[in-house]
Chains A and B, each alone.
Chain A
Amino acid sequence: MITTKDLTKVYRSGDRQVTALDGVDLHVREGEVYGVVGTSGAGKSTLIRCVNMLERPSSGTVTVDGLDLTALAGNEHRAGRELREARRRIGMVFQHFNLLSSRTVQENVELPLEITGLDRHARRRKAAELLELVGLADKARSYPGQLSGGQKQRVGIARALAGDPKVLLSDEATSALDPETTRSVLRLLRDLNQQLGLTVLLITHEMDVIKSVCDSAALMRGGRVVESGTLTDLLADERSELARELFPLSEFGTGRPDGTVLEITFQGDTSGQPFVSQLARTYQIDVNILGAAVETIGGRMVGRMRVELSGSHQDNVVPIGYLREQGLQVDVLNGPNGLNGPNSLDGLTATNGAVA
């Protein structure tokens, strides 16, 4: 639905150059919620503003719903007719809401429809529908100044949806809100994504946002996408920085030197299995649980468990094979063939140190 290819953005002022985007390839599939996370200055804001050409990329292409926006006429300050029409099909919500204080809530939601030239009755009907959808039907005649932050952002979302967009861009939409309100706004985005089949691209600096609404995520640093993929894939990859941030296990114990330490990740269907007791029963072995955590990430149950089996790796090849057969992801953290690899205990301690 949204594809960027080798997107770069260089700001020039005098003879100084700042590279905000450095070859970004992003692929957002239709109907998913895609989160881009990074610290401030990572380029994520520039990225989202390049998607609807509020910023012109220096090079590369942006395709939204099959239309190459970079090919349309206009500059950052003034868009040609085709680009303006393309933008009407892309909703955008902002960190600071950007509502007009001189207009009522309803008039704010009608604004994009006035720009498209819809007649008064159709505008009013659409605005009422949208306010109902975001749960603010009773605030239609209020002014933004009379609303709380969360309500303002709901108005912002209703306004962004006025043109029946297929794509919604969210520029730090919850960053100015308290945790409680953030959750309710995110829940709304998730609902809209599911009810309307809306594709959402959001940028945030909060991991919790990614965790609670996103299907896929990308980590940005220094204008580049360091890592990206579906949350399911990221969590399955124990080298993934994002997964580690989303689901830290650093505080878990590392076991005795003579045992075999396994890290087991289970998602979705496999999370319902009582595999620890099955393992103990089937193979008559002792399983020592060093640590475990279960969380809901992107609407899916994900768990991680670190267990210790007595005996060396060779002694436990069969039970490990059994666990893998159950569809669990098993990483052996020590043992003879893992000593120098990324899975070795030394390597793990080092990474944990970096995370902490």
Chain B
Amino acid sequence: MTWDDMQPLLWTATQETFQMVGIATLVTLLLGLPLGVLLVLTDQGGPLRNRPVNKVVGAIVNVGRSLPFVILLVALIPFTRWVVGTTIGWQAATVPLAVGAIPFFARLVESAVRGVDRGLVEAIHAMGGSTWAVVRKALLPEALPALVSALTTTVIALVGYSAMAGTVGGGGLGNLAITYGYMRFETNFMIVIVIELILLVAVVQLLGDFAVRRLSHRGTSAGLLSRLRRA
């Protein structure tokens, strides 16, 4: 295969990977973040401490995390069909991707939020703040650098998972690597795809690290941040 043959295939597959990872990240963020915060709040000593809820949520997260992704991919087929109406293509792959990443991210969120000084929670209580104020004014803003770092790790894991999803008809770069690189013995193409994946992961990591540095540097990006917080 020449570069000209590879290019359009690569382009389409890259777009698919971006879409898969993008949507899965968004869903993970929307569901994993509250779940992680809930784990901290309902824990012993948390403002909403509730042993049953904490145990149940913790158990779900643990089961979700311990299932190998390949198994999840297959086991979720009925659910995937119900959600997106199909079981092949990149759209179908986003469902197990998100489901797999949510508990993973939730645990990372939990440990990030736990890292916030308890004194700050007490300060918010002492000034008459509610649990919601504790979350919004203290826990999330103070944990923000750690949360961004957690999100970076999650996105990188999703890129890896998305390649795996490609092997079972999920589309994207993984699918391309299997169908061309492996089944058709296009070794050169395989190498190109592997390099692209490596670059992709490296770029995500760099962006994530940059954001974390900016956020914990305290000074430069504060204007935007504080506006976001009060919005």
Contact = CB atoms under 8 A, between A and B. Distances in A.
Chain B binding surface, main DSSP class: helix
Interface in B88-145: 117, 119-120, 122-131, 133, 137-138, 141-142, 144
Contacts of B47: 77-78
Interface string A173-206: 0000000000000000000000000000000000
A54 B126 contact: yes
A111 interface: yes
B29 to A, nearest CB: 19
A152 interface: no
A145 B44 CA distance: 30
B119 A103 contact: no
A94 B47 CA distance: 20
A104 B222 CA distance: 8
A100 interface: yes
A143 B127 contact: no
A87 B128 contact: yes
A100 B130 contact: no
Given A77-B47, A77-B49, A98-B117, A115 B126 contact: no
A102 B141 contact: yes
Contact of A100 (B45, B128, B141, B215): B141
B200 to A, nearest CB: 30
A64 B142 CA distance: 32
B78 interface: no
B218 A77 contact: no
B119 A88 contact: no
A77 B48 contact: yes
Contacts of A84: 128-130
Interface in A61-96: 77-79, 84-88, 90, 92, 94, 96
A260 interface: no
A291 interface: no
B219 interface: yes
B66 interface: no
Interface in B32-74: 45-49
B218 A145 contact: yes
B128 A116 contact: yes
A104 B129 CA distance: 19
Nearest to A112: B127
Interface string B181-209: 00000000000000000000000000000
A215 B86 CA distance: 77
A7 to B, nearest CB: 18
B126 A101 contact: no
Q: How large is the interface on B (under 10, 10 to 19, 20 to 34, 35 or more residues)?
A: 20 to 34
B137 A100 contact: yes
A58 B176 CA distance: 67
A114 interface: yes
Interface string B206-222: 00000000010011001
A54 B126 CA distance: 7
B7 interface: no
Contacts of B226: 103-104, 107
Interface string A110-146: 0110111000100000000000000000000001011
Contacts of B125: 54, 79, 87
Given A88-B128, A102-B225, A96 B119 contact: yes
A285 to B, nearest CB: 60
A163 interface: yes
A107 B49 CA distance: 29
Given A78-B48, A94-B119, A87 B126 contact: yes
Which of A87, A100, A116 has the most B CB atoms < 10 Å from its CB? A100
Nearest to B123: A98
Given A102-B218, A104-B222, A88 B127 contact: yes
A52 interface: yes
Nearest to B119: A98
Contacts of B127: 87-88, 92, 111-112, 115, 159-160, 162-163
A337 to B, nearest CB: 54
Contact of B138 (A92, A100, A112): A100
A168 to B, nearest CB: 11
B218 A115 contact: no
Nearest to A165: B127
Contacts of B130: 79, 84
B122 A54 contact: yes
A68 B46 CA distance: 26
Nearest to A102: B141
Contact of B120 (A98, A115, A116, A120): A98
Contact of A143 (B122, B126, B141, B219): B219
A292 to B, nearest CB: 45
Per CB-CB distance, the 6 closest pairs between chain A and chain B, nearest first, are: A88-B128, A98-B123, A87-B128, A112-B127, A98-B119, A92-B126
28 contacts: A54-B126, A77-B45, A77-B46, A79-B125, A84-B129, A87-B126, A88-B127, A94-B122, A96-B119, A98-B117, A100-B137, A100-B138, A100-B141, A101-B218, A102-B141, A102-B225, A103-B141, A104-B226, A107-B226, A111-B124, A111-B137, A112-B127, A115-B129, A115-B133, A120-B230, A143-B218, A143-B222, A162-B127
Given A77-B48, A88-B128, A120-B230, 9 more contacts: A79-B130, A84-B129, A87-B126, A87-B127, A92-B126, A96-B119, A102-B142, A103-B226, A143-B219
